[in-house]
RNA sequence: GGUCGUUUGGCCGAGGGGCUAGGCACAGGUCUGCAAAACCUGCUACUCCGGUUCAAAUCCGGAAGCGACCUCCA
């Protein structure tokens, strides 16, 4: 089935029909984590958003190469006076090798993403492993006359670039003249010809641990170089989709465009996609603001904020987090609250339970409800710029039908039951990447045991031995198993 | 201060000129030994002020609140 997939392009400020540069193949690049701390809820947003994009493109039949970088050099600590490399600073504090710190947090990032059922990208390049490519990029920009060397550092010449291309600010809507008026005083500004110029290569100060030789100085690459260099290396130039958080639009992505145009003459990619932020009490959740809750804390419910106040009313499973994020459109902000998470948890369980019920539905000769429309409704929602909240709303509608049939108040043929199974499989599991958190390796054994226990209870109930039947139910409840009596006997589920 | 965006029911959140999204919560009902689940019903909202229109939550203008970004935070 050919789908007309519309995606919102930040560059054009409108939804555009997605057509790959090379038929049948898609190259996508997403800005990955800086590995100097544990992933928090904010990191889950782009990971899940672009995981769904990756899954959906593959579902549509594209062969996708998904590149997501690991930033392990070059980004300066915000509050570090000396402009010390983030990784290096953390390493000194903990007496570890910089690469050891990077590896440690990379491993933990992977573990958290695995739990969220985020697929690993096709290629996950490290900035530190692509210094040569970044030096080559800088050299090309110098050769084009759009950068200059100053005291061992190399800066991008914004004003010259603008004269020649008139393209600076096309992504973010930034106007150079306005930037002048709003520029703050910063260290190192005297090396620049223009305050808006950004570093392509930075000379390392003596105490700076992470450094590499270059034609200009011992130093490290500028903050935007890695994505330009690695994107082009692994996806070609231009490639299809570049994604990341909205907070990266300026200066990071604007600078990437400038670097690419300066070095190749054309834009790096066709579509720019940006996910919105997760807020907490209405404010962006971020490392620098100190108001973040790590994913690990969500999973075990152990967070305390800086005042020692407990922010989490309970632990939230990875699938609850995933469902919570998917229940909002990726370009909207989504506000964290216990109420919202709890609502997501219940909704997620309802959907999972409906799918299980679907597997035990008794088929009829005729269907009394029409379920043929759900598939296309879900496709339509996905095709409209990945509108997962709408997909979910259709799945809830289908869940109601399933439950109604289960209550013998409606009927479905085997064909229609299979159709619903297929729709759930595609959209719930394959595309949105949810999975049944309750299922385990011992499923068969537990099912057997539970069947036996429920049989005993059914016998007790038949004998009106309520003491025994209630004892069984209460004991199971204490173990976290809910017994649900229905017309056709009891079923159970993990609470 | 500048740029951009946003403001939807008790809560979360879609939609985006006429066709009451969905989830959660709450209340009533059906079923049930009781409870839970499920199903049915109710709660029917779009920040404010103008304007356009037969018709505005939806378009236009203005105001206010909130947020992101404004060069070394990704």
pLDDT tens digit sequence for A413-429: 999 999 999 999 999 99
A176 touches strand B (CB under 7 A): no
Question: What pLDDT does A439 receive?
Answer: 59
| Residue-wise pLDDT tens digits, A349-378 | 999 999 999 998 989 999 999 999 999 999
Report chain A's mean pLDDT, rounded to a whole number: 87
Distance A195 CA to B72 C1' (A): 11
The mean pLDDT value for A213-226 works out to 92
Task: Give the separation between CA A179 and CA A196, rounded to whole angstroms.
Answer: 7
A225 touches strand B (CB under 7 A): no
Q: What is the Cβ-side half-sphere exposure of residue A167, based on CA atoms within 13 angstroms?
A: 18
A37 touches strand B (CB under 7 A): no
| Residue-wise pLDDT tens digits, A40-77 | 999 999 999 999 999 999 999 999 999 999 998 855 44
Ramachandran bin of A154, using left for φ above 0, alpha for ψ from -120 to 50, beta for the remaining angles:
beta
The separation between the first and the last C-alpha atoms of chain A, rounded to the nearest angstrom, is: 39
| Residue-wise pLDDT tens digits, A435-485 | 987 655 556 667 777 777 888 888 888 888 888 888 888 888 887 788 888
CATH of domain A279-431: 1.10.730
Beta-ladder partners of A22: A25
Sign of torsion over alpha carbons A333, A339, A342, A343: negative
The mean pLDDT value for A175-191 works out to 59
Task: Give the separation between CA A427 and CA A59, rounded to whole angstroms.
Answer: 10
Share of chain A above pLDDT 70, in %: 90
Task: Give the separation between CA A260 and CA A228, rounded to whole angstroms.
Answer: 6
Strand B close residues, chain A 327-346, CB < 7 angstroms: 327-329, 332-335, 337, 339-340, 342-344, 346
Beta strands in A223-330 (DSSP E): 239-245, 269-275, 278-280, 283-284
Helices A86-94 and A98-115, axial angle in degrees (round to 10): 100
Distance A276 CA to B67 C1' (A): 11
Q: Are A433 and A48 in contact (CB under 8 A)?
A: yes
- Which residues contact residue A79 at a Cβ distance below 8 angstroms, ignoring those fewer than 6 apart? none
* Complex ipTM more than 0.95, yes or no: no
Task: Give the separation between CA A83 and CA A89, rounded to whole angstroms.
Answer: 10
- The pairing of beta strand A25-30 with beta strand A14-17: unpaired
Strand B close residues, chain A 434-493, CB < 7 angstroms: 461, 466, 469-470, 473, 482-487
Superfamily per CATH, domain A7-275: HUPs (3.40.50.620)
Going from N- to C-terminal start, the domains of chain A cover: 7-275, 279-431, 443-494
Distance A246 CA to B3 C1' (A): 14
> A68 — phi, psi (to 5°)?
-135, 120
Distance A333 CA to B21 C1' (A): 19
Helix (H), strand (E) at residue A25: strand A25-30
Nearest to A412 by CA among A360, A376, A375, A377: A360
Beta-ladder partners of A85: A76
Nearest to A222 by CA among A72, A124, A75, A35: A75
Nucleotides of B under 7 A from a protein CB: 1-5, 11-15, 21-25, 31-40, 66-74
3-state secondary structure of A334: strand
| Residue-wise pLDDT tens digits, A296-354 | 999 988 887 766 778 888 889 999 999 999 999 999 988 888 999 999 999 999 999 99
Distance A378 CA to B22 C1' (A): 13
pLDDT above 70 (res A381): yes
Task: Give the separation between CA A222 and CA A256, rounded to whole angstroms.
Answer: 11
Nucleotide nearest to A389 (CA to C1'): B14
């Amino acid at each position: 089935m050919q789908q007309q997939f519309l995606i919102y392009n930040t560059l054009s400020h409108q939804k555009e029909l997605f057509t790959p540069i090379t038929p049948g193949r898609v190259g996508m690049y997403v800005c990955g984590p800086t590995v100097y701390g544990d992933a928090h809820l904010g990191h889950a947003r782009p990971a899940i958003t672009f995981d769904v994009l990756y899954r959906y493109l593959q579902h549509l039949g594209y062969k996708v190469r998904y590149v997501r970088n690991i930033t392990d050099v070059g980004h300066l600590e915000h509050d570090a006076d000396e402009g010390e490399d983030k990784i290096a600073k953390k390493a000194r504090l903990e007496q570890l090798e910089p690469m050891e710190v990077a590896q440690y947090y990379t491993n933990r990032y992977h573990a958290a993403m695995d739990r969220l059922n985020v697929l690993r990208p096709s290629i996950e390049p490290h900035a530190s492993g692509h210094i040569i490519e970044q030096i080559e990029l800088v050299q090309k920009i110098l050769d084009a006359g759009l950068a200059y060397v100053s005291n061992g550092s190399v800066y991008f010449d914004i004003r010259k670039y603008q004269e020649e291309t008139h393209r600076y600010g096309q992504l973010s809507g930034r106007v150079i003249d306005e930037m002048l008026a709003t520029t703050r005083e910063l260290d190192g500004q005297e090396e620049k010809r223009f305050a808006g110029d950004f570093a392509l290569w930075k000379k390392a100060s003596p105490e700076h641990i992470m450094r590499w030789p270059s034609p200009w100085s011992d130093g490290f690459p500028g903050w935007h170089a890695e994505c330009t260099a690695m994107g082009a290396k692994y996806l070609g130039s231009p490639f299809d989709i570049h994604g990341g958080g909205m907070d990266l639009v300026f200066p990071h992505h604007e600078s990437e465009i400038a670097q690419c145009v300066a070095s190749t003459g054309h834009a790096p990619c066709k579509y720019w996609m940006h996910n919105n932020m997760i807020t907490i009490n209405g404010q962006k959740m971020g490392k620098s603001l100190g108001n973040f809750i790590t994913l690990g804390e969500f999973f075990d419910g152990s967070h305390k904020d800086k005042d020692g106040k407990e922010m989490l009313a309970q632990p939230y499973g990875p699938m609850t987090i995933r469902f919570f994020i998917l229940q909002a459109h990726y370009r909207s902000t989504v506000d964290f609250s216990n109420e919202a998470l709890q609502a997501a948890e219940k909704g997620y369980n309802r959907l999972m339970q409906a799918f299980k019920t679907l597997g035990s539905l008794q088929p009829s000769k005729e269907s009394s409800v029409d379920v043929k429309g759900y598939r296309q409704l879900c496709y339509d929602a996905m095709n409209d710029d990945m509108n997962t909240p709408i997909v979910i709303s259709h799945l809830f509608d289908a869940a109601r039908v399933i439950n109604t049939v289960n209550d013998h108040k409606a009927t479905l043929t085997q064909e229609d039951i299979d159709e619903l199974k297929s729709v759930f499989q595609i959209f719930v599991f394959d595309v949105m990447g949810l999975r049944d958190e309750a299922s385990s390796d011992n499923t068969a054994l537990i099912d057997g045991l539970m069947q036996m226990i429920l049989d005993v209870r059914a016998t007790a109930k038949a004998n009106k031995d309520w003491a025994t039947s209630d004892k069984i139910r209460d004991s199971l409840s204490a173990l976290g198993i809910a017994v649900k009596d229905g017309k056709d006997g009891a079923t159970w589920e993990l609470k």
